[in-house]
Amino acid sequence: MSWGTTRVLGNRDAGRYLTSVLVSGFGTAAMLLVAGIWVKDLTGSSSVAGLVTLGTWGPTLVAPLIGVLADRFRRRPLLIALHLAMAALLPVLLLVDSAARVWLIFAVMVAYGVSFVLIDSAEAALVPAVVPGELLGDFNGLRMTVNEGMKLVAPLAGAGLFAAYGGHPVVLLDAATFALAALLLALIRVREAPPAPPEPWTRQLAEGLGHLRRHTPLRHLVVCTGAAMLLIGINGALAYAVVDEGLHRPPEFNGVLGTMQGVGSLVGGLAAGTLLRRLGDRRVTAAAIALLAAGLALRAAPGLVPVVAGTLAVGIGAPLVLITVWTAVQRETPNALVGRVSATVNTLTFGPGTLAVLAGASLLVLVDYRVIQLVGAAGAVLLAGWALRGGRRPGAPAAPPTDHPAETAPAPATATPQTAARPPGRRSGADGVPGRGRPAWSRPPATASVSRRSRRPR
């Protein structure tokens, strides 16, 4: 266990926060799986069941519009209210007892998707107040590890409950985890200044987009992450072809490979904080994308060993890319803009991956999956080189560095109003580390011009 991980786990408020993520993540992972199974069971249609995922992830495409709300309220009360609202809404699904009421599942899943966007945005702004700046990467890595760990065990529990008792016990379980997470969030001690008076919605949206446009290093990380997620999406679309045509195994074997990718994600999440402190944003992003390139190439091989090794490499690389960009957003963005910027970044990073699934499935009809995998690997190699160079054209002036060690980072030149009176803390500089606070130890975010996880389940 690294020094940073030990420090995070030893922090009482950070521990409560991570526990809330673990609890709510368990309920979410179970419910999202069961929702699709439930629709399939009631309607008998695989295509209708597949639309459950669209309802959950669809709001991500308009996340910048939703994320503005996260900057109009204090973040901790907003998070508590969102968790309690979902705990109150989920019991509506107890009314589902036939195909005629399947629409209730879709309605609740859309609400789930909207809550995901708002929770992610509010957390991105709150976490830097709970965790010292130099530990943001460690916290975000632990958060990713907790989420991925829940994905390994919660779906099995949810499926078992559904098989034995139907969907209603899973609904009650998820509602209870939302309520418990709200209680844990209420126990966190954090000082938040009142938000600024709300401006017109369009102006606030433009401010968030403008921040990304002006901050070259952050914009570069976002572009690299979006491109990497596109490659991961294509890889996901080819999963059944890898198992069927490459390994000549039944479709169920994807569950084994999914577990291996989850193990890789646990490793990547735990290593993220240490790697960010030692290597910096660009080098970690480049190394993670290089791992993706190796993983894509290995998954094109016909043998079981290279496919498993490639799956592990993809599992390690994917969270490293995401954690790096989340950390940069939290670290570099003025607190008043973090909600909007985080939501916009989520759209720009997860959107390409969603579209890539459709593109990969279409290409598979025309081209052998191995060719697609190898072309993707070659593209990842080029992308890794561009990530390392910082996106500069030959001869172009260097962008302001964002990956110097946290220990030597200069202190921010100015302070935001809510933090001006605080004593100097241990917050890192431009290459600190994704997350989402304000105890006395935490210095205000750098005012340079930028700001995490979605975490993905909450």
User: Which range has the worst mean pLDDT, 36-50, 310-324, 371-385, 402-416?
Assistant: 402-416
Burial 166-177 (b: 16+ CB within 10 A, else e): ebbebbbbbbeb
383 vs 432, residue with greater confidence: 383
Q: What whole-number distance in Å separates Cα of residue 335 and Cα of residue 342?
A: 11
**Residue 452 burial (CB count, 10 A):** 34
> What would the pLDDT profile of 74-86 be if each residue is shown by its tens digit?
889 999 999 999 9
Q: What whole-number distance in Å separates Cα of residue 81 and Cα of residue 293?
A: 42
Q: What whole-number distance in Å separates Cα of residue 379 and Cα of residue 22?
A: 35
Instruction: Average the pLDDT over 27-53 and give the result.
Output: 81
pLDDT for 410: 39
pLDDT at 243 over 50: yes
pLDDT for 458: 40
Cβ–Cβ under 8 Å, residues 351 and 311: no
Instruction: Average the pLDDT over 213-218 and give the result.
Output: 86
Burial of 186 (0-12, 13-18, 19+ CB in 10 A): middle
35 vs 358, residue with greater confidence: 35
User: Which range has the worst mean pLDDT, 12-16, 139-143, 409-413?
Assistant: 409-413
Instruction: Average the pLDDT over 188-201 and give the result.
Output: 74
Share of the chain above pLDDT 90, in %: 24
pLDDT for 235: 79
Tokens 């993540």, located at residue? 25
Write the DSSP symbol of residue 422: S
Helix ranges, 166-303 (H): 168-186, 201-214, 216-237, 239-241, 254-279, 281-298
Contacts of 206 (CB under 8 A, 6+ apart): none
Which DSSP string corresponds to 358-426? HHHHHHHHHS-HHHHHHHHHHHHHHHHHHHHHTTPPTTPPPPPP--S-GGGPPPPSS--TTTTTSPP--
Instruction: Average the pLDDT over 399-407 and give the result.
Output: 39
pLDDT for 294: 96
Q: What whole-number distance in Å separates Cα of residue 272 and Cα of residue 324?
A: 8
Write the DSSP symbol of residue 245: I
Does the pTM surpass 0.75? The reply is: no
Whole-number Cα distances in Å, 309 to 176, 244, 254? 38, 18, 14
Whole-number Cα distances in Å, 49 to 29, 33, 91, 103, 171? 16, 10, 20, 11, 17
Work out the angle at residue 215's Cα, subtended by the Cα atoms of residues 211 and 219, and round it to the nearest 5 degrees. 95
Q: What whole-number distance in Å separates Cα of residue 160 and Cα of residue 148?
A: 19
pLDDT at 140 over 80: yes
